Structure 1
Amino acid sequence: MTPNTPVNIAQKLSAFDERWAPRRIARVNDYEVKAAKLQGEFVWHTHEDTDELFLVISGTLTIRLRDGDVVLEPGELYVVPRGVEHCPAADEEAAILLFEPTGTVNTGTAGGERTREPVDA
């Protein structure tokens, strides 16, 4: 993250293959912009204190909610409101951007083996 240098999202995504391991690609005030590759089903979890924005770059992302699924195609975004239990899933690989406050744990209140600290891409 160098001043006066644009972030190339495709380049950042091509730099890693690991799934469900967000990479920090930018900061906006107290928020982080994270790139991630997803495939399969994540864990059901909640972020009690923050909303979470998902923006699909490629593939299809389904955000499972207890009252129905939200299906996102490339160029679409969805904000999961704080306190709403959700479970992201992708049958085939999907590339996404996440916008969330610095320090937000990817597994929210669920914790577990999929918990990852974001690293810079």
Structure 2
Amino acid sequence: MTDDVRNVRDALSTITEYWQPHRLTSINDYDVKVVKLHGEFVWHTHPDTDELFMVVSGELTIQLRDRDVILGPNDVFVVPQGVEHCPRATGEVHALLFEPKGTVNTGDAGGDMTSELREFA
């Protein structure tokens, strides 16, 4: 990982596919990822880690089995480890994710939406 300055907006402007996280930088054992979201993801859990969402633009709904959490720009929400959730965006959302290195985007669900973490040049 480089020690260069990274710009969140510039990084997001290069992403062309939804639900494909890109590593912006790393800190200790965590990745800071940028991602564009649209539509509904898959229900899944991360059995061994929490997952932090920070919305940069748009409105993101984190569906939980007992409620929906709605995030707007600059809102942050942590999904506790082991809690089943399903992100949904009716319009385009730009977001940051903070997760331990190696965390798979679909958690324990797997499937077609599983993405390899992408790197910026």
TM exceeding 0.5: yes
Matched residues, percent identical?
Answer: 58
Q: Deviations over 1:82-111 (max 9, x none)?
A: 000000000000000000000001000000
The corresponding residue for 1:75 is 74
The corresponding residue for 1:97 is 96
In structure 1, stretches of 5+ residues that fail to align are none
Secondary structure of 1:62's partner? strand
In structure 2, stretches of 5+ residues that fail to align are none
The corresponding residue for 1:24 is 23
Whether the 8 Å contact between 2:15 and 2:35 is mirrored in structure 1 is no
Secondary structure of 1:11's partner? helix
Deviation at 1:117, TM superposition (A): 1.2
TM-score (normalised: structure 2): 0.97
Secondary structure of 1:47's partner? coil
The corresponding residue for 1:53 is 52
What aligned pairs does 1:106-117 form with structure 2 within 5 A after superposition?
106-117=105-116
Secondary structure of 1:36's partner? strand
Does 1:2 find its partner at 2:2?
Answer: yes
The corresponding residue for 2:14 is 15
Q: Deviations over 1:49-77 (max 9, x none)?
A: 00000000000000000010000000000
Secondary structure of 2:12's partner? helix
Deviation at 1:18, TM superposition (A): 0.4
Deviation at 1:16, TM superposition (A): 1.5
Deviation at 1:6, TM superposition (A): 1.4
RMSD: 0.7
Secondary structure of 2:106's partner? coil
Structure 1's consecutive aligned runs of 4 or more residues displaced over 2 angstroms after TM superposition are none
- Figure out how many residues of one structure are paired with residues of the other and give that number: 120
Whole-angstrom distance in 2 between the partners of 1:33 and 1:117: 15
